[in-house]
Chains A and B, each alone.
Chain A
């Protein structure tokens, strides 16, 4: 048992070092960066609690933010609690957290705002015990909206941080 755990840790480190542009599972697959709508199928059987599809659909892969904010709402914290416990029980996965903004902002500022949002999610997962080595962040600013209408109903869905599972040991 002890030996097996060591191997897992070592394997994770190797995978990290080898992986510069991680393959991704789940909603963002072909549809672009974290752009998949909820319900779109992730990898694997959503009935299997260890699958990427389960993570995406049952746990929830994204949290939403208020206008120009990066504070985690209680709803967001609830989703991230679920993500943290799933990641702790599925240690093969690493994640890339994508921060996004709605179109109501200038390009550079929105990149910085997306970085803040991704980092807020990362810090929360860290505080719940997910190792830093498994958490990467990136911001897309307003470059990859999920919804394309120009009103609050769409903006609310675009102000998001999406936790995208990336290749771990199993890949």
Chain B
């Protein structure tokens, strides 16, 4: 597997020798919580190639950074055809008036140098209307093959600086890649960059595989496979592609696994005698522990980021609803109270929200609510939306949408937690069950 090798060499170096000129004091700030967002216009001239070898990658870098920013729905790129400034040399002062005249509020400049197996990328971010650079310029070094990651790191720095949100572009998604008709669908585990680039497949499609989930360090993946004929939980090492079955008691089925934030414990559900309950397992000892023991269905557990609580779904009330209990089990409190059925809860990385799938009146929705069940908001609606996963910064949710009928097909989408900016995520085949990694180091 090439997945990990490519980018290990990526390092973040201290800023350039340019002193910090001004703090962000001007208008260059997007408050995402506001009701209506007018995308912030920015300009990103093609990055300067410091040597001939870097000319292609320099251009590709600025295009990728622009795509990341535009993809958030919070930024609008001013096309190069509108530029009136002379080509911006990276080391020379910016002529703010030229950028003000075309209403570019943010200006991103950069350069790339390629020598041997080393790619060095520098960039600066300017608040045009304040006439000041934002923060220090930054320099990233990596391998040429890792250029996309460097671009995502630059875009993350710009995004974080302007929005005040955490970064999320330099991240990966593990998902199920689907081909074939509904009644004979072939499913393979696949892994890709958050934007759909660099796809590689982890399984071959001979067995049904479901719901892969990243470990906190994104080095392992839990998933459910029918390789034995029965649903069982497997853990796969992303670097070596080695896998092991975690639970294989006869007469049981295990599924819906997720890691605890410590990466050493998993939570999952196990069906025995028709009854499904929630268990945890210590990965080192293999010891499992029962957390629920009612005759109802308890499944789809997800840890809070502090590891102290678990949100899950149960039909103990007579219909599928969301509950929160202590990570050691015991009494659970119901948090979903609206009309319809609620499933697949996922605790946000910031800890403040739970994303879920809601079924009501024949439609499916992705929604979020606070952990006390208040402020429920539905972000999407379709024939079948399901399986939310959080971006590392808790701003964006990826999920899958299946279209109806015999030709129904499943695809990945993302949406901002404001409900804006619904976008299809590019995948080579159909896609389902995405799981978003943390930002990479």
- Pick from B181, B269, B299: contact of A148, CB under 8 Å: B181
Q: Across the interface, which residues of A come within 8 angstroms of B273, CB to CB?
A: 119
Q: Across the interface, which residues of A come within 8 angstroms of B208, CB to CB?
A: 140, 143
A119 to B252, CA, bound (A): 11
Contact at B182–A148, with CB atoms within 8 Å?
A: yes
A147 to B183, CA, bound (A): 7
Taken residue by residue from 47 to 71, chain A's Cβ proximity to chain B (1 for < 8 Å, 0 otherwise) reads as 0000000000000000000001010
Q: Does A169 contact B (CB under 8 A)?
A: no
Q: Across the interface, which residues of A come within 8 angstroms of B39, CB to CB?
A: none
Contact at A139–B231, with CB atoms within 8 Å?
A: yes
Contact at B359–A118, with CB atoms within 8 Å?
A: no
A137 to B274, CA, bound (A): 9
Q: Across the interface, which residues of A come within 8 angstroms of B357, CB to CB?
A: 106
Contact at B229–A143, with CB atoms within 8 Å?
A: no
- Pick from A104, A122, A138, A145: contact of B229, CB under 8 Å: A138
Stretch from A6-14, A74-82, A84-92, A108-116 at the B interface: A108-116
Q: Across the interface, which residues of B come within 8 angstroms of A149, CB to CB?
A: 405-406
How distant is B434 from chain A, measured CB to nearest CB, in Å? 13
Contact at B387–A106, with CB atoms within 8 Å?
A: yes
Known: A35-B184, A109-B320, A115-B274. A150 touches B383 (CB 8 A): yes
CB closest residue in chain B, given A32: B184
Contact at A21–B181, with CB atoms within 8 Å?
A: no
Contact at A35–B183, with CB atoms within 8 Å?
A: yes
Size of the chain B interface, CB-CB below 8 angstroms: 44
A140 to B253, CA, bound (A): 10
Contact at B228–A21, with CB atoms within 8 Å?
A: yes
How distant is B313 from chain A, measured CB to nearest CB, in Å? 7
- Pick from A103, A105, A109, A115: contact of B402, CB under 8 Å: A103
Taken residue by residue from 364 to 389, chain B's Cβ proximity to chain A (1 for < 8 Å, 0 otherwise) reads as 00000000000000000001101100
Contact at A108–B344, with CB atoms within 8 Å?
A: yes
Residue among A112, A144, A145, A148 with most chain B CB within 10 A: A112
Contact at B271–A115, with CB atoms within 8 Å?
A: yes
* B residues in contact (CB < 8 Å) with A: 181-185, 208, 210-211, 228-231, 251, 253, 255-256, 269, 271, 273-276, 297, 299-300, 313, 315, 319-320, 343-344, 357, 359, 362, 383-384, 386-387, 402, 404-406, 408, 433
Can you list 16 pairs linking A and B with CB atoms under 8 Å apart?
A103-B384, A103-B402, A104-B362, A105-B359, A106-B320, A106-B357, A107-B344, A107-B433, A108-B299, A108-B343, A111-B255, A112-B271, A119-B274, A136-B251, A137-B251, A137-B274
